A = this chain, B = another copy of it.
Amino acid sequence: MVRLRAHDIAVSLDGFGTGEGQSLESPFGHAGGRLMTWFFPTRTFGAAIGRDGGTTGVDDAFAAQSWNGIGAEIMGRNKFAPLDRPWPDEAWRGWWGDEPPFRTPVIVLTHHPRSDLQVGETTFLFRDTSPEEALAEATELAGGLDVRLGGGPSTVREFLDADLVDHLHLVVAPIVLGRGVRIWDGQEGLEERFAIETTASPSGVVHHVFTRTR
């Protein structure tokens, strides 16, 4: 049974998954790196950027799971490039350099067409399609492994609205952002569809794991 899993989805205490004013210079807007301060020191992130060592506690244990048994990813346009308009050209190849860490097919949901893009071992496929169709294609591409839902917050919400999410690892950072993109809008009663396990980390964040129960 292929599962759709979201990992490392970080939000502020007031539920913003990214700040206001996203751009290529500030992918999290005014939030800067503050939603991810628990993540950057981990060994898992270190391995992704070629840095030796890193923390190996609960934050790393959760971060590492994101890379287990995944055969494809679905991400929102804003994760690939926060530009709310047609692509100016095809020069932008994502944030991740010559060898993005995905090393699988990645479906990028966008209303603006663009050619498929191979970067290292990762193929970005740009699709203007529904959550259901994106998941069907990603499942096909994943070859029996799970599909990662890569975010950002609007994309997670769309897949929750469509009740397609099996596993959601959500991290609450102890900051109040005040503005940005909310993750909880329209999610009233979410707890009725999920079992929720909660772990506080010494780093100050709280890890919530939502597992679909029906």
CB < 8 Å neighbour of A188 from B15, B178, B186: B178
- Among A13, A177, A187, A205, the one with the most B-chain Cβ atoms within 10 Å of its Cβ is A13
User: In the complex, are the beta carbons of A188 and B196 less than 8 A apart?
Assistant: no
Known A15-B14, A184-B176; judge A198-B204 contact (CB<8 A): yes
Contact string against B for A residues 125-167, beta-carbon threshold 8 Å, 1 for contact and 0 otherwise: 0000000000000000000000000000000000000000000
CB < 8 Å neighbour of A189 from B178, B204, B206: B178
Q: Which of A180-209 contact B (CB under 8 A)?
A: 182, 184, 186-191, 196, 198-200, 204-206, 208
A79 lies within 8 A of chain B by Cβ = no
User: In the complex, are the beta carbons of B204 and A196 less than 8 A apart?
Assistant: yes
User: In the complex, are the beta carbons of B187 and A178 less than 8 A apart?
Assistant: yes
Report B-chain residues with C-beta under 8 Å of the C-beta of A14: 15, 182, 184, 187
A173 closest partner in B (C-beta):
B191
User: In the complex, are the beta carbons of B198 and A175 less than 8 A apart?
Assistant: no
A54 lies within 8 A of chain B by Cβ = no
Q: Which of A1-37 contact B (CB under 8 A)?
A: 13-15
- Among A176, A177, A196, the one with the most B-chain Cβ atoms within 10 Å of its Cβ is A176
Report B-chain residues with C-beta under 8 Å of the C-beta of A15: 13-15, 184
A46 lies within 8 A of chain B by Cβ = no
A212 lies within 8 A of chain B by Cβ = no
- A contact set with B: CB distance below 8 Å: 13-15, 172, 174-179, 182, 184, 186-191, 196, 198-200, 204-206, 208
Beyond A176-B191, A178-B188, A200-B200, list 5 extra A-B contacts (CB 8 Å).
A172-B172, A174-B196, A176-B190, A177-B188, A198-B200
Shortest beta-carbon contacts, A-B, top 4: A178-B188, A14-B184, A200-B200, A176-B190
